[in-house]
A and B are shown apart, each in its own frame.
Chain A
Amino acid sequence: MLRITADVFSGRQNPVWTVGEERTARNTLRALSEGSELLTEDAPARAGVGFRGLLVESLSDEAAPDLRLGSTTYLPVGREAKGPRAAELAERLIGLLDRVDTSLDTEEGVSLPEPLRPFLTTQLTTATEEGSRSGVSIQEGGQETSESFTAAATCYYDVTPFNPGFWNDDQNTRLRNNCYNYASNWRNNTFAQPGRGCGSQYTALTCAEVGRGALCDGMHRRYDCFPDSEWPRHLVALVIWPNTDFHWYRLQSEGYWAHKPGSTAARNVDNSNRVINNPETCDRGPYTQFCGYFYGCHTQRQRIR
């Protein structure tokens, strides 16, 4: 027998159903085992509200002796999903609700949304859409980093796939958006200048002044965390051509950094045509001064001008 819990509510009891038929239980466990890379031992600590995942408990140890699954396993969905197939597996688990040998376990006096299956399917769709929208959230801090200090706080930032066509395909877009637009992931055709959006543009082309302008727009220095509500919180890096110009890089979900030098095309390579794995050490031409890392956020990017 299998017991499945939809981890969807915060205050009230989660829906729980039991699959009684052994063959169905075994086939379900086999499907989970084949997607073991999508599973975790327990619910993620930071899953937030909404449909977080499904807890699957095997109620007998003979259910699947040849399947390498623990007696309990968890399938995260939405933004914590381990892959696109997680939603497919979740749908299969929810689909078991329609089987005649499945019983819904409810505590006395507790009512669940009726009908339950379409309710959970809708919740799953919403969570999956939000998950794909948010790309990947990365936790950092509280550990050794390349920075010279250990962060006191644990921060999350968000990364999205490199999408140069969004910036390069249209000539007007390419010409009217610069490195600060790209770092902020905000294509508003303003050739944005740090601080201009908040009414206090930089007054010198130094790390301190351009950084001040970006902070005024709403960026934070690295390890000064933003809440989830400020999605997307991009990790960006500022460099300076001393007393001449500024430039920004943004970390992508592929693990490399990308940038848009002024009105030219967005790219993920440096001046030596090498993929940028580290903005501190890549070939930056005359932009010799590395100022440090910042987090962008939703409020900041809407403010840039």
Chain B
Amino acid sequence: MDVEVCLYSGRPNPVFRLHGVEREEASRRLGALVAVPDRSVPPGGLGYQGFRLRPTSTDGSSDAGPSEVGDAGDQPTVTGSSIMEYAIGGGLVVARGADGGVRVSLDPGRALERWLADRSTRALTEQEIRLVEGSLASEEDPRSDFPR
């Protein structure tokens, strides 16, 4: 399971991989998310935006990831095998399906983002760690009230 730290525009972003217990924990956390129907996807922008997690590794090997994103009422369930990536940041998790479909879930207290930030330090420079920590410290859930 590859995780990209979304920091840069021109330079390649730092990337790290979750193995074993960490991968299982990430799958568990993703599987526990509850989707929010009709939620707009924030456009993002320049600077630190969060993390991008791909259940399928960039080398092409299959990694099932979570079995599903939690259901939201009568919303259709997005199964893990169809999810190409999760964008995690600012209190939201956006799951993008292979068919272009999008499901948005809340990440209360940015718990999943903080969990990934703790694991990302092994791939980051001191300056990058400060940038990520600074963003997580300054805003609680900056996108969770993004207009529906």
Chain B residues proximal to chain A, CB less than 8 Å: 4, 6-13, 43-47, 49, 52, 84-85, 96, 100, 127
Contacts and interface: CB of A to CB of B under 8 A. Distances in A.
6 contacts: A171-B84, A178-B9, A263-B52, A265-B44, A269-B43, A285-B46
Contacts of A285: 45-47
Contacts of A253: none
A262 B47 contact: no
B10 A179 contact: yes
Contacts of B7: 245
Given A171-B84, A264-B44, A273-B43, A193 B49 contact: no
Contacts of B43: 265, 267, 269, 273
B95 to A, nearest CB: 13
A83 interface: no
Contact of B10 (A248, A271, A283): A248
Contacts of B13: 262-263
Given A171-B84, A171-B85, A244-B127, A270 B45 contact: yes
A213 to B, nearest CB: 10
A263 B4 contact: yes
A112 to B, nearest CB: 55
Contacts of B46: 241, 247, 261, 271, 284-287
Interface in A188-206: 191, 193-194, 205
B116 to A, nearest CB: 17
Given A171-B84, A171-B85, A263-B4, A245 B11 contact: yes
B45 A178 contact: no
A17 interface: no
A210 B9 CA distance: 13
Contacts of B9: 178-179, 245-247, 259-262, 287
Nearest to B146: A273
Contacts of B52: 263
Contacts of A194: 10
Q: How large is the interface on A (under 10, 10 to 19, 20 to 34, 35 or more residues)?
A: 20 to 34
B80 to A, nearest CB: 16
Interface string A157-200: 00000000000010100000011100000000001011000000
Contacts of B44: 261, 264-265
B12 A191 contact: yes
Nearest to B85: A171
Contacts of B12: 191
A193 B11 CA distance: 7
Count chain B CB atoms within 10 A of each CB in A205, A210, A245, A271 and give the residue with the most. A245
B10 A193 contact: yes
Given A267-B43, A284-B46, A262 B6 contact: yes
B4 A271 contact: no
A296 to B, nearest CB: 15
Contact of B49 (A260, A264, A273): A264
Contacts of B127: 244
B58 to A, nearest CB: 9
Contacts of B6: 262-264
A246 B10 contact: yes
Contact of A262 (B8, B96, B100): B8
A180 B10 contact: yes
B10 A247 contact: yes
A178 B127 CA distance: 22
Nearest to A193: B10
A271 B135 CA distance: 15
A262 B10 contact: yes
A263 B45 CA distance: 11
B51 to A, nearest CB: 12
Interface in A230-280: 241, 244-248, 259-265, 267, 269-271, 273
A261 B96 CA distance: 18
Which of B7, B11, B96 gathers most chain A CB within 10 Å? Answer: B11
